[in-house]
């Protein structure tokens, strides 16, 4: 038996043996097993699950990007003064693409705890981004033209 923290917790989803409950912008990550019961509470918007490692997810919390890994302490991957518009995993799960209101960055997670950051491009304004296949699609304005832009990632 596990007593829930105070709040209005509702089941959001299940990933393998991980249960995810939500209370507004708080997330309760439960990892029950036969011998132990691991629980984490983190804050942020919608989880972005790693496509190649279902025990990892990203959460945006204002100007911070958090990596939450099952049965490990959450850690900050990015903290800057500007809010994050969006963050998406590369389909292979080792890289993350992050957008602020004007810039796109790639974050590479090495096997250690180090994060390598690369600035990819600057737009007039970025509204959103997503991956489709090997391409990163950006909704925004570039050179005073508003549209959907494609950035091929190698």
pLDDT at 36: 65
Q: Is the pLDDT of residue 35 over 70?
A: no
Share of the chain above pLDDT 70, in %: 95
The 10s digit of each residue's pLDDT in 95-124 is: 999 999 999 999 998 776 788 999 999 999
pLDDT at 69: 85
Nearest to 5 by CA among 42, 33, 32, 34: 42
29-38, 107-116, 125-134: least confident range: 29-38
Residue 18 has pLDDT above 70, yes or no: yes
Residue 13 has pLDDT above 90, yes or no: no
Tokens of 1: 């038996």
* Alpha-carbon torsion (108, 109, 112, 116), positive or negative: positive
H or E element: which one contains 113? none
Cβ 83 vs Cβ 101: under 8 Å: yes
Transcribe 52-105 into DSSP letters.
T-TTEEEEEETTEEEEEETTS--EEEEE-SSPP-EEEE-TTSSEEEEE-SSEEE
């Amino acid at each position: 038996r596990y007593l829930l923290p105070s709040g209005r917790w509702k089941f959001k989803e299940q990933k393998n043996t991980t249960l995810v409950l939500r209370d507004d912008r708080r997330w309760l990550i439960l990892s029950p097993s036969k011998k132990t019961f691991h629980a984490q509470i983190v804050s942020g918007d919608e989880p972005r699950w790693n496509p190649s490692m279902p025990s990892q997810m990203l959460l945006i919390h204002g100007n911070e990007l958090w990596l939450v890994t099952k049965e490990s302490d959450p850690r900050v991957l990015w903290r800057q003064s500007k809010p994050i518009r969006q963050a998406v995993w590369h389909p292979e799960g080792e890289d993350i693409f992050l957008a602020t209101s004007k810039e796109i960055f790639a974050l590479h997670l090495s096997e250690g705890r180090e994060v390598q950051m690369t600035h990819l491009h600057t737009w007039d304004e970025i509204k959103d981004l997503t991956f489709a296949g090997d391409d990163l699609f950006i909704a925004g304005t570039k050179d005073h033209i508003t549209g959907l832009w494609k950035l091929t990632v190698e």
